[in-house]
Amino acid sequence: MKIGLGQINAVVGDLAGNVSRMVDCYNRAVEADVDLLIFPELATCGYPPEDLLSKKEFVEDNRASVEKLAADCPETRIIAGFPESYKGSLYNSAAVLEAGKIKEVYRKRLLAHYSVSDERKYFKAGSKPVLIEVGGLKIALTICYDILEIARLKEFLKEVGPFEVLVNISASAFHLGKTEARKKSIINCVKEFNSTVAYCNLVGGQDELVFDGRSILADSSGKIAATAAAFREDLLIADIISTEDGVKVKPVDSAREEPSGPVDEVYQALVLGVRDYVRKNGFEKVLLGLSGGIDSSVSVCIAAAGLGARKVIGITMPSRFNSSETIADANQLAENLGIEFLTIPIDDILEASDNSLAVFEGWDKESIAFENLQARIRGNILMSLSNSMGGLVLTSGNKSESAVGYATLYGDTAGGFSPLKDVPKTLVYKLAEHINAKSGSQLIPESVIRRAPSAELSFNQKDTDSLPDYSLLDRILQGYVEENKSAKELIAEGIDAEVVRKVIRMVDANEYKRRQSPPGVKITPRALGRDRRLPITNRYY
Amino acid sequence: MKIGLGQINAVVGDLAGNVSRMVDCYNRAVEADVDLLIFPELATCGYPPEDLLSKKEFVEDNRASVEKLAADCPETRIIAGFPESYKGSLYNSAAVLEAGKIKEVYRKRLLAHYSVSDERKYFKAGSKPVLIEVGGLKIALTICYDILEIARLKEFLKEVGPFEVLVNISASAFHLGKTEARKKSIINCVKEFNSTVAYCNLVGGQDELVFDGRSILADSSGKIAATAAAFREDLLIADIISTEDGVKVKPVDSAREEPSGPVDEVYQALVLGVRDYVRKNGFEKVLLGLSGGIDSSVSVCIAAAGLGARKVIGITMPSRFNSSETIADANQLAENLGIEFLTIPIDDILEASDNSLAVFEGWDKESIAFENLQARIRGNILMSLSNSMGGLVLTSGNKSESAVGYATLYGDTAGGFSPLKDVPKTLVYKLAEHINAKSGSQLIPESVIRRAPSAELSFNQKDTDSLPDYSLLDRILQGYVEENKSAKELIAEGIDAEVVRKVIRMVDANEYKRRQSPPGVKITPRALGRDRRLPITNRYY
């Protein structure tokens, strides 16, 4: 039996487009004599559709889409995810399509409800296992989370008896360490059921999530037999053969190239996340402020990699506080990338603003307010250019800054998308090295990487004037934000108590800034934002 | 038996403060010989604690708080809500305190999971009813949502046998129409169980929610016997007497004044919402841009009512596009309110910005970009003053504008809190009339109310140049946003199809702006924002 995993890049809400993507895939699958073609979870509508699910018409349109898919693709068996209204409740379902019709439906049993997933808000859990037969093989159906608790899955599937293939359709978003967890679940299934596993994952960026694809075919021997491409669409085809030694997977194509390591994974996730946000939202170009600092340098390289240099415009907005070195670095980087580059000095606007604000007697040129003013003038310039040319502004803030509020609201946080939003500062440096290594040149000037970080909003300013060293800061943030550790636990690990408390206090106090920040790609197990929902008004610390 | 409903204003995360509020209430209750004192749902930590519940220490600290409450308040029976870790799971629980100890715990059975409530994300549902006895009366315990489905509640309480009092501790946020729904549920219980109902609700503002209090004692005869104060703390005391005619409620105090109608309800909700956001987040003052328009005029009146005129600063930031009439109106209103008033003209900054932006050859002084620039310069001035004096900027946008994106991101949307965020424009006018009626004077100048609305970002501009008339716009928005109707349904109601489609398109396309807007008080059944979670990247329309 020939199986195909149709790892498509669905766009949320684009029902017709998603069906057409699946039909394209089907045509290639038919040419390759595929008997069973599998698409991801909620493939008709993309993932996560959120409150679109509360629209009755949307749910009806999804059924119509899956019926159209069936009608357009009569020549193979197909499994595809769709949201389904059934007996007055909504389910996260997998349709089995055969000969132009919906032949059977499996409804997800274990709903994902953690982190960014709110499935229990929308769906009812299914309760009936589904077994189908294709090419003489028995095939059990599951959806994403269903395979997570192996003991409960075994209990659930008991009534269908033995099977040769466990299908799992999924929409599993990328974060560091996710693939290992995923593979482990799949190997658990293989061992438990002595079957193959055909795991078909979604690919593509959707707001803050990037689905990484990497669909998997696992052998009953306990090995991953084939993996689809990472961070791009793919159709993975293999023969599934039942032998006396168990069920074997024989891939038809050669193996896909895998990311070279965690930093490359993050890099590819960011490139795809930016590309898809820009493309799916219909922007023709992006613009970024280039300061000659590490964050904007890495951000612009990611944008250029995702969109091509011709779609990226760099703007440098120097004031008297910017050194000639950083200005030169911004210029050099733009030249290295071959992007359009504009210089708009802010001194005249700063002076006019300063004069006008002097009406207020508390106004002080040596204050943080005066620093923030500069960042907001820059934000205003970028947004004015964005409104003029229809381009999307990318912001350059990283996770470490965002966590402690080391950013100016409506200043450097102003923009539509934030590539480094979930990237700790120490990882930004690793990305810079990775980008240069990948390009085989000093794409990002060495001085950008070596210089001590500074916001350049006053003379001789350094980030370390206000913050602990980034390696220490990131260690505390990883503990507090990602691992949900308490101050007590972090201090017990040997970190200075005063620094721990200061950092935690900064994180807690700056929730209001993060609430108004643009979306950006999640790459860690726990991003700031929807992934970590804290009240703004909060006296617990 | 004497019962007391301790309708406290808890602050999220302020465990010690919340216990101290309860102890104050207890002292007054003891003086009044109360036998059973009831506090709201999750009273120790405030509602909703969101991801604070994921912190182990937080849950432990809540248990310690409820134990401290028990120890400090030994002389009456107390029921108080707290988040409880029990056998490895988290519950939304009600502790029964007696003689200094936790005597019994009831665990919420029906978790609230709709709109802004995500309880199933955090809590496990309880499964055991609890009955206590105080002063010879049998008392059944429930928490908030538990009483919503009367048939299931009856089934659940069957095993405890008959009782005289049904206690419900609640954290039920205000929106228009909520009290009627609440009373109906309570009367259903009274009739079903032939008992009294003692319903104790939370009061106070928490980020986007305002809890309105209005705790209720209902008689077994089917009448509301007493209602606690609306939108403020209260201790409602009554005798519960078992007679041959059923269980009677005899209030000890005179009746509390109720809001005069829906507009007054909204007004009081907004005043409390602003006051509590400012107070609970530790701000000493607020500042607002005053344009002489209806939105900023109503906003500043709400701020002054909530905080006192001395804590409010109005700033007018005229350009050449502002008429002398609107400038005079802003001035007059500030004088009427007795607030501090600053004038900071923006023409010089606008000119400097315009000159600098001319470097970009597409820059056009007649464009929307040039209009947005003005709004952002004003946002920048307000934020500069905010950073200088430590005051919170209130924004003036209303729900109608926010829904269709008729606002400048980082311009007029720049600020920490948005009083009118969930108030449709037509209701803003009603609030203006209400404010004037309440003050018994022309507090808001008549011309502000009569003038056709304009953003004054170009000469002779009117809102109706870009938008349908507000009464039509609000009708479409109420259907689409609040009632979740489709374009088809709205057109079937007789609204012009082209206008419906245009408005819906605007709502869908502006999700990205709303994602970055400040919090504001929810007053309708469905606010924009967390209450209506739509993807930004979304092709469904």
Query: pLDDT tens-digit profile of B32-65?
Result: 999 999 999 999 999 999 999 999 999 999 999 9
Please state the rounded mean pLDDT for residues B235-256: 94
A357/A491 same-domain check: yes
Q: How confident is the model at residue B324 (pLDDT cuts 50, 70, 90)?
A: very high
In a domain, A347, yes or no: yes
CATH assignment at residue A117: 3.60.110.10
Q: What's the pLDDT at A530?
A: 84
Token pair 């609970």 in the structure block, residue:
B280
CB contact under 8 A, A537 and B52: no
State in Å, rounded, how far the first CA of chain A is from the last one: 59
Arithmetic mean of pLDDT, A298-313: 98
* Partner residue opposite A207 with nearest CB, options B369, B484, B537: B537
Among A220, A254, A288, the domain boundary falls at A254
Quick one: closest CA in B to A57, which residue? B486
Q: How far apart are CA A106 and CA B404, in angstroms?
A: 39
Contact A362 B54 (CB under 8 A): no
B48 to chain A: which residues are within 8 Å by CB? 535
Predicted pLDDT at B305: 98
Whole-number pLDDT of residue B429: 98
pLDDT at A16 over 90: yes
Given this model, what pLDDT does residue B541 score?
Answer: 80
User: Residue A115 pLDDT > 80, yes or no?
Assistant: no
Residues A88 and A216 in one domain: yes
Minimum distance, in Å, between the CA of residue A519 and any CA atom of chain B = 8
How many CB contacts within 8 angstroms connect chain A with chain B? Answer: 251
pLDDT at A301: 98
What pLDDT, on the 0 to 100 scale, is given for residue A258? 96
Contacts of A74 (CB under 8 A, 6+ apart): A99, A100
Q: What is the pLDDT of residues A467-518, one digit of tens each?
A: 999 999 999 999 999 999 999 999 999 999 999 999 999 999 999 999 999 9
- The token pair that represents B492 in the structure block: 């079937």
Q: For residue B315, give the amino acid letter.
A: I
Considering the domain architecture, whether residues A270 and A370 belong to the same structural domain is answered as: yes
Per-residue DSSP letter, B225: E
Q: Are residues A213 and A77 in the same domain?
A: yes
Q: Give pLDDT, residue B144.
A: 95
Mutate to test the interface with B, among A124, A389, A395, A538 (most CBs of B within 10 A): A538
In the 8-state DSSP scheme, what is residue B482? I
Are residue A183 and residue A281 in the same domain, yes or no? no
Same domain, A207 and A74: yes
The C-alpha atoms of residue B49 and residue B44 are separated, in whole angstroms, by 10
CATH number of the domain at B332, please: 3.40.50.620
- Which residue in A has a C-alpha nearest to residue B352's C-alpha? A349
pLDDT tens digits, one per residue of B188-221: 999 999 999 999 999 999 999 999 999 999 998 8
pLDDT score of A113 more than 90: no
Cβ–Cβ below 8 Å for B55 and A484 = yes
8 Å CB contact of A410 and B380: yes
Task: Answer yes or no: is B100 within a domain.
Answer: yes
Amino acid at B409: L
Q: How far is B264 from chain A (nearest CA, A)?
A: 25
| pLDDT, average across residues B525-534 | 91
Four-CA torsion B395, B399, B405, B410, nearest 10 degrees = 10
Q: What is the pLDDT of residues A159-180, one digit of tens each?
A: 999 999 999 999 999 999 999 9
Interface touch B48/A535, C-beta < 8 Å: yes
CB-CB neighbors (< 8 A) of B352 in chain A: 348-349, 351-353
Q: Is the pLDDT of residue A117 over 90?
A: no
Identify whether A540 is part of a domain: no
Q: How confident is the model at residue A118 (pLDDT cuts 50, 70, 90)?
A: confident
pLDDT in tens, B282-313: 999 999 999 999 999 999 999 999 999 999 99
Residue to substitute from B357, B371, B537, interface A, most A β-carbons within 10 A: B537
In this structure, are A359 and A486 located in the same domain? yes
Q: How large a percentage of chain A has pLDDT more than 70?
A: 100
Asked which of B237, B258, B279 is the last residue of a domain, the reply is B258
Catalytic residue among B25, B45, B73, B144: B144
CA distance A429 to A431: 5
Active-site residue set of A: 41, 108, 144
How far apart, in whole angstroms, are the C-alpha atoms of residue A162 and residue A139? 9
Q: Residue A329: which domain range?
A: 263-515
For residue A532, the one-letter residue type is R
Contact between chains at B362 and A538 (C-beta distance less than 8 A): no
User: Are A267 and A231 in a shared domain?
Assistant: no
Lowest-pLDDT range, A114-123, A443-452, B339-348, B411-420?
A: A114-123
C-beta of residue B266 within 8 angstroms of C-beta of residue B434: no
Structure confidence at residue B387 as a pLDDT band (50, 70, 90): very high
Is B41 one of the annotated active-site residues of the chain?
yes
Structure tokens at A462: 């350094």
Per-residue pLDDT, B134: 97
A232 with A267, same domain?
no
Per-residue model confidence as pLDDT tens digits over B460-491: 999 999 999 999 999 999 999 999 999 999 99
pLDDT, one tens digit per residue, over A233-250 is 999 999 999 988 889 999
What pLDDT is stored for residue B246 in this prediction?
87
Look at B372 and A352 and tell me if their CB atoms are within 8 Å: no
Q: Which of B192, B226, B258 is the last residue of a domain?
A: B258
In angstroms, the CA B391 to CA B413 distance is: 16
B221 and B273 fall within a common domain = no
Answer yes or no: do B158 and B245 share one domain.
yes
Give the confidence band of A383 by pLDDT, cuts at 50, 70, 90: very high
* Nearest to B110, CA basis, from B168, B153, B53: B153
**Residue B406 counted as domain residue:** yes
pLDDT for the residue numbered B117: 79
Quote the pTM value.
Answer: 0.96
Question: In Å, how far are A115, A235, A273, A536, B134 from A480, measured between CA atoms?
Answer: 16, 40, 26, 17, 45
Task: Find where tokens 């038919």 sit.
Answer: A30
Residue type, B45: C
Q: How far is A248 from chain B (nearest CA, A)?
A: 40
Does the pLDDT value for residue A309 go beyond 90? yes
Residues A250 and A303 placed together within one structural domain of the fold: no
In a domain, A411, yes or no: yes
**B427: Cβ contacts below 8 Å, ≥ 6 apart:** B263, B266, B474
**Predicted confidence (pLDDT) per residue in B96-114, tens digit:** 999 999 999 999 999 987 7
Predicted confidence (pLDDT) per residue in B110-158, tens digit:
998 777 778 988 999 999 999 999 999 999 999 999 999 999 999 999 9
Structural domains of chain B, count: 2
Asked if residue B273 is part of any domain, the answer here is yes
Give the gap in angstroms from C-alpha B234 to the nearest C-alpha of chain A. Answer: 22
Per-residue pLDDT tens digits for A321-363: 999 999 999 999 999 999 999 999 999 999 999 999 999 999 9
Q: According to DSSP H, which parts of A390-466 are helical?
A: 399-404, 425-439, 446-450
Q: Do A540 and B353 touch (CB under 8 A)?
A: no
Q: Closest to A512 (Cβ–Cβ): which among B276, B388, B416?
A: B416
Are A540 and B50 in contact (CB < 8 Å)?
no
Higher pLDDT, B369 or B244: B369
> How many degrees, rounded to 5, is the angle at CA A172 between CA A170 and CA A177?
135
* % of chain B with per-residue pLDDT over 90: 95
Give the C-alpha separation, A370 to B145, whole Å: 50
- At B238, the amino acid letter reads A
A522 in any annotated domain: no
Q: Confirm whether B539 is domain-assigned.
A: no
Query: SS3 of B431, please?
Result: helix
> What pLDDT, on a 0 to 100 scale, did the predictor assign at position A70?
98
Whether the per-residue pLDDT at A116 is higher than 90: the answer is no
Tell me the shortest Cα–Cα distance from A465 to chain B, in angstroms. Answer: 19
